[in-house]
C-alpha cells in the first residue's frame, strides 16, 4: 500500500470530554471528521508510540464502529504503525481493551502501547444517536489531560492527515492475522477473540470455584442484563460457560448496533427489564425475583447491582467491596494498598478507609484520575457514584469485575449455607454494612439536554453565592429550618499527588455541618446541550435510623438544593430527567 497525504481543515469542538469525544453519528460521519481527530491523536503522541507501535482498535460495537475501524486501520498503516489488534467483529469492552493493552502478547511477542476505543458508553447508539472515540495509554488507562489537551490543540490547526487509501478493507469477522507491505515495511492486522484475555484475567483475580458453587445452589438465583451492549460478548463465556449459570439468566446479551433502541445505561430508569424482573417495578410486582441481578452499560465498564427487590447505591457498592475484598477475593488477600473515590461519590468509602486504616483519595470525576494512583501503587479499589467500580487489575472501571466481586462476597458469606440453609442476601449485606459504618443516604438528579447558556448561568449563580456563607445560610433557614448549616463552599480542585498536576473547576460543593453535601456539576459526556448533575448526600450514623427510604430521607436537602440553585428558574424544568 501507499501512504497518501490528504489536505484537511479543522473542525470546531473536537475537545475530548470526561471520557473521549462523543458526538452524534451525523457529526462523526462528515467527511474528514473522524480522520482529523485520529491524526490529531497520532500527532499528540511521541513518535515511538506511533512508528512501529502496536495499537488496539475496537469498541462497544455501536453504529459506525465497523466503518471507523477500517478508517483507523488505514490511517495507522499510513502513519507507520506496525500492527493493529482488533477484537473479533470490532468488539472489545472498555475494560477488556485495558486488559488487552496490559496483558496480551502477540504471536510474535509484541505488546500494545495504546488503543482507540470506539464507544459513547452509556449514550444511545444508531444512525441518529451517538458515536465516540477515546485514546488509552500504555498503562491501559484513558489519556491524561496533558494528552487530551494536546489532541484538542492539534484539532484546531490540523492541515493534513495520512491514510493508506489503497489498503483493502480487512475482514474483522474472522480471527487471524493479515499482513500487508507498505512504504515503511510490513503492517499487520490481528483479529482476535474478544473474550479470551479478559476471561483469563478474571480467573486470576477471583475464586471461580466458590462462585460456581454459589450459582449451583438451588436457592440462589441470578440474572444479568447487558442492555444489548458489548458486555453480552463476555456474559456467556463467563457466567454460563465458566460459572455454570443458566443461559436463561442472561437478558439482552446480544450486542446490537443500536442497543435495541434503548439507553444502554444501567440505572433504575433505563434498565427497565431487569428492574422489573428484580421486583423493583411497583406496577409489575413479581412473585419470586432472583436473589441477584446486575446490568452493564454499552461498553461494559459500568455496573448496577440489585438484590431481590433491593437497589444497591453505587457509592455503597464500592464501600462494601472495599470492606470485604481481603476475605472474599483472592487477588486482594494480602491487603489493599489504598482506596479512592470521585468527589461526587458518597463518603461511604471514606468511613471504611478510616475503619481499616487505609490510604484514601478523593479525585475529580472520570477514571483517568485513578490511574496515576494505581500506577504508583497507592490504590487497589476505587469507584464512582455513576455505577463505576473497579480495581488496579486494569486502568478502567469494570462492570463484570464488579459483578464477580459481589458474587465473591455472597459466596464467601454463604459458604456454610449452601446445603439448604437460608442464604445471606444482597440486602442483608448492605444493611449489615450500614449498621456497622452508618449510612450515607444518597441520590443524584440529572437534568439532561438543558440549554447550555442557562446551565452555565446556574453554575455561575452557585459560584457567586459561595462568596457569602451567611447569605447562603439565611436562604437555607428560610426554606428548611431543620437542615444543618453550610460550613464550607467551594469549587473542587485536585492536585494529583503523583505528578503534581492541578485540575480546577471540578464541581461546586456545599458542605454542611453534619457532613451532608450538595454537589453541582456539568456533565462532560453529553453530545447535545448541557446536562446538570446534582448530587445529594446525608450521613446517618444512628443504626436505628438507617432503614429509611432514601428519597424520603433526603427530601429536605433536595428542597434546599433546588431553591438554592434556582433550578426551575434557570432551566424551566420542574423535575429531573433521571433520578438515581
Ligand atoms: C459521567 C459520570 C462519570 C464517568 C463518566 C464516564 O461523566 O458522571 O462518573 O466517569 O460518565 O463513564 P459526566 O462528565 O457526564 O458526569 V462512561 O461509562 O460514560 O465512559
Ligand atoms: Co461506559
Q: What is the pLDDT of residues 51-93, one digit of tens each?
A: 999 999 999 999 999 999 999 999 999 999 999 999 999 999 9
- CA 142 to chain centroid: 11
Average pLDDT (477-491) is 87
The per-residue pLDDT for 427 is 97
Tell me the β-bridge partners of 222: 292
Look up cell 436562604; give the residue: 475
Is 446 near ligand 1, meaning CB less than 6 Å away?
Answer: no
pLDDT tens digits, one per residue of 164-194: 999 999 999 999 999 999 998 999 999 999 9
Specify whether the CB–CB gap between 397 and 266 falls below 8 A: no
Q: What does the radius of gyration of the chain's CA atoms come to, in whole angstroms?
A: 24
Is 367 near ligand 1, meaning CB less than 6 Å away?
Answer: yes
Q: Are 4-194 and 198-437 in the same CATH fold?
A: yes
Look up cell 491514510; give the residue: 163
Q: Ligand 2: distance of its center to the CA of 552 in Å?
A: 30
The per-residue pLDDT for 443 is 95
Q: Ligand 1: which atom is nearest the Cα of residue 121?
A: 19
Is 136 near ligand 1, meaning CB less than 6 Å away?
Answer: no
Look up cell 485514546; give the residue: 135
Q: How far apart are CA 105 and CA 115, in angstroms?
A: 15
> Which pairs count as long-range contacts for 352-357, CB under 8 Å and 24+ apart, including other chains?
352/319, 352/322, 352/323, 352/437, 353/322, 355/323, 355/437, 356/322, 356/323
Q: 198-437 — its CATH code?
A: 3.40.120.10
Q: How far apart are CA 233 and CA 213, in angstroms?
A: 23
Q: How far apart are CA 287 and CA 159, in angstroms?
A: 63
Q: How far apart are CA 296 and CA 269, in angstroms?
A: 13
Stated pTM of the model: 0.94
Q: How far apart are CA 383 and CA 164, in angstroms?
A: 41
Q: How far apart are CA 579 and CA 448, in angstroms?
A: 11
pLDDT tens digits, one per residue of 351-398: 999 999 999 999 999 898 999 999 999 999 999 999 999 999 999 999
The answer for residues whose C-beta is within 8 angstroms of residue 562's C-beta and 6 or more apart is 568
23: left (phi over 0), alpha (psi -120 to 50) or beta: beta
Specify whether the CB–CB gap between 483 and 557 falls below 8 A: yes
Q: Ligand 2: distance of its center to the CA of 176 in Å?
A: 28
CATH 3.30.310.50 fits domain 439-579: yes
Average pLDDT (209-228) is 96
Specify whether the CB–CB gap between 550 and 442 falls below 8 A: yes
Q: 4-194 — its CATH code?
A: 3.40.120.10
- As for the ipTM of the complex, it is 0.97
Active site residues: 121
Domain residue extents for the chain: 4-194, 198-437, 439-579
Amino acid at each position: 500500500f501507499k501512504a497518501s497525504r490528504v489536505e484537511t481543515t479543522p473542525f470546531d469542538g473536537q475537545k475530548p470530554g470526561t471520557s473521549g469525544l462523543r458526538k452524534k453519528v451525523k457529526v462523526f460521519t462528515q467527511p474528514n471528521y473522524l480522520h482529523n481527530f485520529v491524526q490529531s491523536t497520532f500527532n499528540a503522541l511521541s513518535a515511538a508510540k506511533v512508528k512501529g507501535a502496536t495499537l488496539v482498535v475496537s469498541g462497544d460495537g455501536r453504529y459506525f464502529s465497523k466503518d471507523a475501524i477500517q478508517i483507523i486501520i488505514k490511517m495507522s498503516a499510513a502513519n507507520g504503525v506496525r500492527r493493529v489488534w482488533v477484537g473479533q467483529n470490532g468488539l472489545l469492552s472498555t475494560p477488556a481493551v485495558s486488559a488487552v493493552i496490559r496483558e496480551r502478547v502477540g504471536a510474535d511477542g509484541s505488546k500494545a502501547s495504546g488503543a482507540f476505543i470506539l464507544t459513547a458508553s452509556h449514550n444511545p447508539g444508531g444512525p441518529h444517536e451517538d458515536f465516540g472515540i477515546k485514546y488509552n495509554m500504555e498503562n491501559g488507562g484513558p489519556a491524561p489531560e496533558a494528552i487530551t489537551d494536546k489532541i484538542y490543540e492539534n484539532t484546531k490547526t490540523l492541515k493534513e492527515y495520512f491514510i493508506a487509501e489503497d489498503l483493502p478493507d480487512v475482514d474483522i469477522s474472522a480471527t487471524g492475522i493479515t499482513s500487508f507491505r507498505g512504504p515503511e515495511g510490513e503492517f499487520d492486522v490481528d483479529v482476535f477473540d474478544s473474550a479470551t484475555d479478559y476471561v483469563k484475567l478474571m480467573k486470576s483475580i477471583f475464586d471461580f470455584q466458590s462462585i460456581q458453587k454459589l450459582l449451583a445452589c438451588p436457592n440462589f438465583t441470578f440474572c444479568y442484563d447487558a442492555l444489548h451492549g458489548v458486555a453480552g460478548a463476555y456474559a456467556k463465556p463467563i457466567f454460563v460457560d465458566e460459572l455454570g449459570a443458566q443461559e436463561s439468566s442472561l437478558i439482552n446479551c446480544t450486542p446490537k448496533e443500536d442497543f435495541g433502541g434503548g439507553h444502554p445505561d444501567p440505572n433504575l430508569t433505563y434498565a427497565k427489564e431487569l428492574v422489573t424482573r428484580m421486583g423493583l417495578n411497583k406496577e409489575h410486582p413479581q412473585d419470586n425475583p432472583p436473589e441477584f441481578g446486575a446490568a452493564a452499560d454499552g461498553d461494559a465498564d459500568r455496573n448496577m447491582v440489585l438484590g431481590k427487590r433491593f437497589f444497591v447505591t453505587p457509592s455503597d457498592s464500592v464501600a462494601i467491596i472495599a470492606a470485604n475484598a481481603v476475605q472474599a477475593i483472592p487477588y486482594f488477600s494480602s491487603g489493599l494498598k489504598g482506596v479512592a473515590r470521585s468527589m461526587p461519590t458518597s463518603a461511604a468509602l471514606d468511613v471504611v478507609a478510616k475503619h481499616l486504616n487505609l490510604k484514601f483519595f478523593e479525585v475529580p470525576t472520570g477514571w483517568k484520575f485513578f490511574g496515576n494512583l494505581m500506577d504508583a501503587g497507592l490504590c487497589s479499589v476505587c469507584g464512582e457514584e455513576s455505577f463505576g467500580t473497579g480495581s488496579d487489575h486494569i486502568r478502567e472501571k469494570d462492570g463484570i469485575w464488579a459483578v464477580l466481586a459481589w458474587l465473591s462476597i455472597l459466596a464467601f458469606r454463604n459458604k456454610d449455607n449452601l446445603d439448604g440453609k437460608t442464604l445471606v442476601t444482597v440486602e442483608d449485606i448492605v444493611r449489615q454494612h450500614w449498621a456497622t459504618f452508618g449510612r450515607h443516604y444518597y441520590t443524584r438528579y440529572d437534568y439532561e439536554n438543558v440549554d447550555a447558556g442557562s446551565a452555565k448561568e446556574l453554575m455561575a449563580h452557585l459560584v457567586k453565592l459561595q462568596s457569602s456563607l451567611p447569605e447562603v445560610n439565611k436562604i437555607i433557614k428560610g426554606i428548611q429550618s431543620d437542615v444543618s448549616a453550610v460550613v464550607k463552599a467551594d469549587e473542587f480542585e485536585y492536585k494529583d499527588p503523583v505528578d503534581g498536576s492541578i485540575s480546577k473547576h471540578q464541581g461546586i460543593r456545599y458542605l454542611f455541618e453534619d457532613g451532608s453535601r450538595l454537589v453541582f456539576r456539568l456533565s462532560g459526556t453529553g453530545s447535545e446541550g448541557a446536562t446538570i448533575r446534582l448530587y445529594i448526600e446525608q450521613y446517618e450514623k444512628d443504626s436505628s435510623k438507617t432503614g429509611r427510604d432514601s428519597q424520603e430521607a433526603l427530601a429536605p436537602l433536595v428542597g434546599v438544593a433546588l431553591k438554592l440553585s434556582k433550578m426551575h428558574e434557570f432551566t424551566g424544568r420542574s423535575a429531573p430527567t433521571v433520578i438515581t
